[in-house]
Amino acid sequence: MYPEEDARRQEAQIREESGAEVEFFYYDAGHAFHNDTNAIGTYDPDRAAEAWGRAVDFLRKKVA
């Protein structure tokens, strides 16, 4: 698992160095939480649905 503290530092670095509009989301879920085959026992359908919805919204706004 990638430590949240490291992810937050990376987020700050991206904002500071690129000036790009970025949005990070942090999920209280295990690795591969979106893998519905649940191979390692970490599938989280609620977090998966939330993450999927956010990804689709992003693509509709930025790519479509």
Give the pLDDT confidence score for residue 30 in this predicted structure. 87
Q: For residue 17, give both structure tokens.
A: 């160095």
What are the domain boundaries of the chain?
4-62
Q: What secondary structure does DSSP assign to 18-55, as a single string? A: H---------S--TTTT-TT-TTS---HHHHHHHHHHH
Q: What pLDDT does 42 receive? A: 93
Residue ranges of the chain with per-residue pLDDT less than 50: none
Model confidence pTM above 0.85: no
For the chain, how long is the longest CA-to-CA vector?
38
What pLDDT score does 2 carry?
A: 82
Q: List CB contacts of 5: < 8 A, sequence separation 6 or more.
A: none
